[in-house]
Structure 1
Amino acid sequence: MACEYSRYGLNPDRIAQIETLVDLISKTDEVLPSSIFIYGHSCSGKSFVVTSLLEELQLPYVRFNCVEVFSIKVLLESILKKYCECSSAKSKNTKRSDVHEPCENMMDLVNKLKSKSQGIDKNSKLFIVLERSDRIREMGDHVLPALLRLSELTGLNICSILLSEVVWEKFYAKMGYSDPISLHFPQYNRDEIINILCQSYNSKYPLGFYKSYLNMFLSTFYRVSRNLLNIKSLAEKIFIDYCHPIETGEIRMDDVSSLWRWIVPRLKIALQQGHFLASDHLNNQPGQPLSITNGIAMTKLNLPFHSKMLLMAAYLASHNSSKSDRLVFSRHANKKKRRKVESQSVKNNLISGPKPFSFDRMMAIFYCINDCEKLHTSLLMSQVSYLLRVHLLDTFGDDMLNEPKYICTANFDMVCDVSRSINFNIVKLLHS
């Protein structure tokens, strides 16, 4: 079985999960399960395994990333369109129609699927793959239960496959739930990461030499990040510098200890820049220490828009005095007085350094500088958690339960470059 899936190009370290999915969806004479819930951390192979398996078995499916679905209408109309394409392809008597059919709600979808299925084989399959399915909870209390029971409501052979990074217990609805079949994708261990990275290895150096390098590399970075894409990107960049003394003839290929001493300073610099692990702007000139080029690095900082605005709010809260908030952010403040202090504000703030601030103050500044409707608290907390994880924010004090305090650790150059990337002038809001 392992050789068969390796030949198909599927992940050889997910054989147990692949076999379970094959048993559930591949048999032609059995009814599909109404829903399958697949969960695990990011970069654990969920989307790749599911889509590759459906492609390999030539099963019709429609795939969505729920982060990109801005309206439930878009989701429902795409499901209806895909089913019409699959049914018209299998039915000789049904003419294929390219006319767009509107579908406003779940009841419309159920009724139209029933009408389209008349005269068509009821066993024809359709899979609905929903990535980041936890976002469906924001579309209404009825949407997720209906998708889980779509095959029961329509009488068709439809299976909803939900992919998520959170466990099923975090999904909640008041009524109508039908528990799906759950399948867990665990994080990759060190040996599995090495096997995956070696599959895409393409260099003049022997594969055993590269495996030895990966073992040393993961002894340092496996505890910092287990995101496969981050590790792959950084491992390939540092490997160029690792091989530089071999190219120049300074160190032999079999002198592993000397190569390790050569690469240790580069690894330390990369560890200090933890939030740039997945970026493309590591200065990787062979023979020179790894560094971050300020101008390019900050504009390419891989953060969503609201995370960048939260970073702006955190920097302002950390460098402005709380007494100046009304003067700086109030629309009714004296504009002449505000312009008077702007000339000396930047220099004084850089000298004074960051100061601790509360979460409520940061959120108040966030909504002052960002003209948007009130966002869900859990979404903002997840963005704050990410900024803490990449060391752009840091905690302050011991009482993080009752009165959490934070400090913005981003430097002035970084904040200015990020603000330019979103057309936001942060300098005029810095107050001494």
Structure 2
Amino acid sequence: MPTLAHPAYPEERLATVEKNVLCRESQLATLLSIFGERQHLGFPSIFIYGHSGTGKTYVLQTLLSTLELPCAVVNCVECFTPRLLLEQILNQLHNHCPAPENDYSSFERCDTFNDFVRLYKRIVSSPDFQKETVYIVLDKAEQLREMDANLLPGFLRLQELTESNVTVIFLTEIVWETFRPNTGCLEPLPLYFADYSKVELQRILSSDYHPEFSAEFYASYINILLGVFYTVCRDIKELRHLAALNFPKFCEPVIRAEAKETDAHKLWRNIEPHLKKAMQTVYLREISSSQWERMQQEDREAAQLKGLSAHAHVELPYYSKFLLIAAYLASYNPARTDKRFFLKHHGKIKKTDFLKKHEKTSNHLLGPKPFPLDRLLAILYSVVDSRVAPTANIFSQITSLVTLQLLTLVGHDDQLDGPKYKCTVSLDFIRAVARTVNFDIIRYLYDFL
């Protein structure tokens, strides 16, 4: 294995980088050669691209932090407006952190890129920077294409505009050809991060072995894991999560003294059903590991409940359960009560304030009422907000619920005012579904106020 070496940086720090970053020796060596001496004029911009989970962000952050190079690392997804992005860069260069003491304000207000150039020149002219190369890292850089048209060309020419020693590094999953503006710009230096090979993944994942077990035992577990998942998943973050999630099940026979670390056949029989379950959640997981385990247990308990309809045995994805809950609330709650249940700081509203004569009868006795799609989505985002960020295709899940006859489409598909639906499940069924996701649906039903 090659050893990193550069006359501008201490050997012990380079050794630390090499120890913490596995299977990226060639990329590290390339970056070090591009960086050069600390006071030498750096390359204006570097474009680093590759698939998700190939170590782009980790490698760069480890290199910059270990070598203590002046830098600002921002995520363009979190900083979704030009002002947030520019102020975050200035905050990091100033070592300023928005906090209660400063009313969560930025060090300086920065509305335009012209303001940023002026403020940046003032920062780097201070003695603290000593003419060293400053590195500005823009992670998820593809978001820049959705911002102001002058932002991307401005960052590419930042060294020229500020007349200072600065290198802007773009991290993205897409190629440069999709970035290049029609008006032309200064071309960055491209650097590609290839996917990890199976041998490299084995080496990286095996380094996370549990101290209570031997490295060889954990390496054999990783070999089994990769044998199952490598054909469908190459993302190191996803594989690392799967390894941590399933290892307690793998070593259960060893802990109970039912098998030795070398009994590969017994260990495989024990872990096989758990890996099959995990295979269904690759790239589709919308909850944490602990929630996933608890959900599996609650689903088993809910299946044992008596007196539920046949629909109770339908296995639904976690996110579809919230969609069905929102549909039930929309079917059985009057539309004007949504403010009472789902709007924060609504104040106290008595039931008699919005009760009409025809609503003196329970809505559950009258049956479900149709609701429009936009009301369903509004309720869905209210009930799911604190639990999971929506990532699945909502409309395909609605179609699936209609196919399962848990929802009914009312009217024709070509309505001008959009489709309307009814929820067809019973109260017992929706309570069982809500129980599996820890949602108290009774609190949100108008009939139970």
Task: Work out which of the residue numbers 336, 344, 364 in structure 2 matches 1:343.
Answer: 364
The answer on whether the counterparts of 1:329 and 1:368 sit within 8 Å (CA) in structure 2 is: no
Task: Work out which of the residue numbers 277, 281, 286 in structure 2 matches 1:269.
Answer: 277
Residues 1:366 and 2:373 aligned together: no
Report the alpha carbon displacement of residue 138 of structure 1 after superposing the two structures with TM.
3.2
Q: Check 1:33–1:252 CA distance in 2 against 1; reply closer, same or farther (3 A cut).
A: same
Report the alpha carbon displacement of residue 56 of structure 1 after superposing the two structures with TM.
2.5
Distance 1:338 1:142 in 2: 58
- Amino acid in structure 1 at the alignment position of 2:139: E
The answer on whether the counterparts of 1:233 and 1:277 sit within 8 Å (CA) in structure 2 is: no
After the TM superposition, which residues 190-209 of structure 1 pair with which residues of structure 2 at under 5 Å, given as runs?
190-209=198-217
The answer on whether the counterparts of 1:141 and 1:174 sit within 8 Å (CA) in structure 2 is: no
The answer on whether the counterparts of 2:323 and 2:380 sit within 8 Å (CA) in structure 1 is: no
Distance 1:148 1:215 in 2: 43
Task: Work out which of the residue numbers 242, 248, 262 in structure 1 matches 2:250.
Answer: 242
Report the alpha carbon displacement of residue 188 of structure 1 after superposing the two structures with TM.
2.5
3-state SS of the aligned residue for 2:190? strand
Residue aligning to 2:79: 69
Report the alpha carbon displacement of residue 252 of structure 1 after superposing the two structures with TM.
3.4
Distance 1:396 1:227 in 2: 34
Residues 1:189 and 2:210 aligned together: no
Residue aligning to 2:67: 57
Report the alpha carbon displacement of residue 309 of structure 1 after superposing the two structures with TM.
13
Report the alpha carbon displacement of residue 152 of structure 1 after superposing the two structures with TM.
1.4
Residues 1:111 and 2:118 aligned together: yes
Report the alpha carbon displacement of residue 183 of structure 1 after superposing the two structures with TM.
1.9
Deviations 1:324-374 (A, max 9, x none): 89x96999xx9777896842699x89xxxxxxxxxxx86784368669xxx
Residue aligning to 1:13: 23
Residue aligning to 1:353: none
Residue-pair matches, total: 367
Distance 1:19 1:208 in 2: 30
Residues 1:148 and 2:169 aligned together: no
3-state SS of the aligned residue for 1:280? helix
3-state SS of the aligned residue for 1:64? strand
Report the alpha carbon displacement of residue 161 of structure 1 after superposing the two structures with TM.
1.2
Residue aligning to 1:159: 167
Residues 1:23 and 2:23 aligned together: no
Bigger Rg, structure 1 or 2: 2
Distance 1:318 1:267 in 2: 33
Report the alpha carbon displacement of residue 60 of structure 1 after superposing the two structures with TM.
0.2
Deviations 1:58-92 (A, max 9, x none): 21001112222254333323434555679xxxxxx
Residue aligning to 2:2: 2
Q: Check 1:77–1:294 CA distance in 2 against 1; reply closer, same or farther (3 A cut).
A: same
Residue aligning to 1:230: 238
Deviations 1:137-159 (A, max 9, x none): 33322222212211111111111
The answer on whether the counterparts of 2:210 and 2:218 sit within 8 Å (CA) in structure 1 is: no
> Tell me, which stretches of 5 or more residues in structure 1 are unaligned?
87-98, 285-289, 296-307, 350-360, 372-379, 398-402, 404-410
The answer on whether the counterparts of 1:313 and 1:362 sit within 8 Å (CA) in structure 2 is: no
The answer on whether the counterparts of 1:36 and 1:181 sit within 8 Å (CA) in structure 2 is: yes
Report the alpha carbon displacement of residue 100 of structure 1 after superposing the two structures with TM.
3.8
Report the alpha carbon displacement of residue 123 of structure 1 after superposing the two structures with TM.
4.1
Report the alpha carbon displacement of residue 53 of structure 1 after superposing the two structures with TM.
0.7
Deviations 1:282-325 (A, max 9, x none): 549xxxxx944459xxxxxxxxxxxx99968954798899xx89
Report the alpha carbon displacement of residue 130 of structure 1 after superposing the two structures with TM.
1.6
TM-score after normalising by structure 2: 0.64
Distance 1:345 1:186 in 2: 61
Task: Work out which of the residue numbers 129, 136, 140 in structure 1 matches 2:137.
Answer: 129
3-state SS of the aligned residue for 2:138? strand
The answer on whether the counterparts of 2:138 and 2:169 sit within 8 Å (CA) in structure 1 is: yes
The answer on whether the counterparts of 1:32 and 1:157 sit within 8 Å (CA) in structure 2 is: yes
Report the alpha carbon displacement of residue 163 of structure 1 after superposing the two structures with TM.
1.6
Task: Work out which of the residue numbers 239, 253, 258 in structure 1 matches 2:261.
Answer: 253
Report the alpha carbon displacement of residue 166 of structure 1 after superposing the two structures with TM.
3.1
The answer on whether the counterparts of 1:234 and 1:277 sit within 8 Å (CA) in structure 2 is: no
Deviations 1:207-260 (A, max 9, x none): 222222211122222334433233223323322222222233323332212221
Distance 2:73 2:175 in 1: 21
Q: Percent identity?
A: 28
The answer on whether the counterparts of 2:131 and 2:165 sit within 8 Å (CA) in structure 1 is: yes
> Tell me, which stretches of 5 or more residues in structure 2 are unaligned?
5-13, 97-105, 301-316, 339-354, 383-388, 404-413, 415-428
Residue aligning to 1:101: 108
Distance 1:419 1:149 in 2: 52
Residue aligning to 1:279: 289
Residue aligning to 1:171: 179
Q: Check 1:428–1:310 CA distance in 2 against 1; reply closer, same or farther (3 A cut).
A: farther
Distance 1:316 1:173 in 2: 46
The answer on whether the counterparts of 1:110 and 1:154 sit within 8 Å (CA) in structure 2 is: yes
Q: Check 1:392–1:328 CA distance in 2 against 1; reply closer, same or farther (3 A cut).
A: closer
Distance 1:163 1:253 in 2: 42
